């Protein structure tokens, strides 16, 4: 089913309000007051806040599970927020192209952090399709943390020590996620899993798990096209044949074919782990990812 809903004007108004009183970079590149940051999603907004602390003011454009960065095009309020930013954080890799499009039409000197470029994965020799859901890759988030500290220091040198300390503390928390992944890999390395979309693949693979889903199934679901009947049958057979230890189900994209897979998993006693693309309300990034890892571990324990 279509994944795009119109961005509520109220959400953008609230986001812009968060930027009020924050100056754009001066001619010297140093902002007056806090650093105005616009993040394409609330996932990156949360990471920005952890690294920048009181030295930044953050606006997250996509902050609801009802919004799809793949298809969102923005409006005048989004353009205004971007024009006032000292730093912009975008996922890149085709995930939130609206940011690049709108920045190109904006007279701004903002620094731009492209997470796909930070990851380095989009520059590696092609080994299948590039998975743009980079926030499920903890090593990339560690690199992003370091990059943000560098950019914040360049914009506000007088706060450099605070930014470095914040980044170090946050990196320690992220490394805790890596330790959990290593523990899961030690216990369940090579276990087959199924997905409805590639959203959590970085996390699953870092935990030693092997995606058994027919590629044509997850690609069709992500692109919003029909899954061929034979491919759907192959996917359902993963559960009836007990070939996988869990199903990672993207709760933000549902339809008859994903629901058929969900039903097959439940009918055959295969645990289901729900995942999302945006940060759930009331959670922070590290707590969210830890919850995902804990859910995977509980599912595999049976």
- Three-class SS state of 44: helix
* Domains held by the chain: number: 2
Q: Is residue 4 part of a domain?
A: no
Distance (Å, whole) CA 78 – CA 65? 18
Both 109 and 31 in one domain: the answer is: yes
Q: Is residue 182 part of a domain?
A: no
Q: Which domain holds residue 107?
A: 9-177
Helices and strands (H and E) in the chain: how many: 12, 8
Both 199 and 295 in one domain: the answer is: yes
Q: Enter the pTM of the model.
A: 0.86
Both 130 and 231 in one domain: the answer is: no
Distance (Å, whole) CA 220 – CA 24? 42
Of the candidates 209, 227, 210, 205, the residue with the CA atom closest to the CA atom of residue 218: 227
Distance (Å, whole) CA 264 – CA 175? 36
Which contiguous run of DSSP H or E holds residue 39?
A: strand 35-41
Given 153, 177, 201, the domain boundary residue is 177
Q: Are 42 and 279 in contact (CB under 8 A)?
A: yes
Q: Is residue 3 part of a domain?
A: no
Distance (Å, whole) CA 112 – CA 141? 16
- Beta-bridge mates of residue 41: 62
Both 198 and 133 in one domain: the answer is: no
Q: 36: Cβ–Cβ under 8 A, 6 or more apart, which residues?
A: 19, 22, 23, 24, 56, 57, 59, 84, 85, 86, 87
pLDDT in tens, the chain (302 residues): 333 333 333 333 333 333 333 333 332 233 458 999 999 999 999 999 999 999 999 999 998 777 777 778 778 888 889 999 999 999 999 899 999 999 998 888 899 999 999 999 866 545 567 899 999 999 999 999 999 999 999 999 999 999 999 999 999 999 999 999 999 999 999 999 999 999 999 999 999 999 999 999 988 888 888 899 999 999 999 999 999 999 999 998 888 999 999 999 999 999 999 999 999 989 999 999 999 999 999 999 97
Both 245 and 206 in one domain: the answer is: yes
Q: Is residue 183 part of a domain?
A: no
Distance (Å, whole) CA 263 – CA 52? 44
Both 89 and 193 in one domain: the answer is: no
CA atoms within 13 A on the CB side of 210: 9
Q: Is residue 112 part of a domain?
A: yes
Both 172 and 26 in one domain: the answer is: yes
Both 151 and 288 in one domain: the answer is: no
Both 122 and 17 in one domain: the answer is: yes
Q: What burial class does residue 11 get, using C-beta atoms within 10 Å of its C-beta: 0-12 exposed, 13-18 middle, 19+ buried?
A: middle
Residue tagged 């693309």 (tokens): 277
Both 196 and 168 in one domain: the answer is: no
Q: Is residue 203 part of a domain?
A: yes
Both 16 and 151 in one domain: the answer is: yes
Of the candidates 199, 193, 241, 229, the residue with the CA atom closest to the CA atom of residue 213: 193
Q: Give the tokens for residue 18.
A: 């968060």
pLDDT of residue 127: 56
pLDDT of residue 32: 56
Sign for the pseudo-dihedral over CA of 67, 69, 75, 76? positive
DSSP 69-111: TTT----HHHHHHHHT-SEEEE--TTSSHHHHHHHHTS----E
Q: 209: Cβ–Cβ under 8 A, 6 or more apart, which residues?
A: 184, 188, 190, 191, 192, 193, 245, 296
> Three-class SS string for 103-154?
HHCCCCCCEEEEHHHHHCHHHCCCCCCCCCCHHHCHHHHHHHHHHHHHHHHH
Q: 97: Cβ–Cβ under 8 A, 6 or more apart, which residues?
A: none
Q: Is residue 49 part of a domain?
A: yes
Of the candidates 208, 204, 184, 207, the residue with the CA atom closest to the CA atom of residue 250: 204
pLDDT of residue 21: 32
Q: Is residue 184 part of a domain?
A: no
Both 16 and 128 in one domain: the answer is: yes
Supply the CATH number for residue 259's domain: 3.40.50.1980
């Amino acid at each position: 089913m279509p994944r795009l809903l119109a961005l509520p004007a109220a959400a953008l108004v609230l986001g812009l309000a968060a930027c009020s009183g924050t100056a754009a970079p001066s001619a010297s590149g140093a902002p007056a007051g806090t650093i105005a940051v616009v993040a394409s999603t609330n996932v990156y907004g949360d990471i920005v806040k952890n690294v920048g602390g009181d030295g930044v003011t953050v606006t997250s454009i996509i902050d609801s599970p009802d919004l799809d960065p793949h298809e969102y095009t923005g409006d005048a309020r989004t353009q205004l927020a971007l024009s006032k930013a000292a730093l912009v954080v975008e996922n890149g890799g085709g995930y939130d192209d609206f940011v690049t499009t709108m920045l190109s039409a904006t007279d701004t000197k903002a620094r731009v952090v492209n997470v796909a470029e930070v990851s380095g994965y989009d520059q590696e020799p092609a080994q299948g399709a590039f998975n743009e859901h980079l926030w499920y890759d903890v090593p990339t988030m560690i690199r992003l943390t370091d990059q943000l500290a560098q950019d914040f220091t360049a914009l506000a040198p007088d706060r450099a020590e605070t930014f470095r300390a914040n980044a170090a503390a946050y990196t320690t928390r992220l490394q805790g996620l890596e330790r959990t992944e290593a523990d899961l890999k030690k216990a369940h390395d090579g276990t087959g899993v199924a997905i409805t979309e590639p959203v959590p693949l970085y996390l699953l693979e870092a935990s030693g798990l092997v995606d058994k889903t027919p590629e044509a199934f997850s690609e069709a679901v992500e692109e919003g096209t029909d899954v061929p009947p034979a491919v759907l049958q192959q996917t359902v057979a993963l559960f009836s044949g007990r070939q996988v230890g869990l199903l990672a189900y993207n709760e933000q994209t549902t339809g008859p074919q994903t629901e058929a897979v969900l039903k097959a998993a439940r009918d055959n006693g295969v645990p289901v782990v729900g995942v999302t693309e945006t940060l759930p309300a009331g959670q922070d990034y590290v707590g969210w990812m830890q919850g995902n890892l804990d859910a995977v571990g509980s599912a595999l324990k049976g």
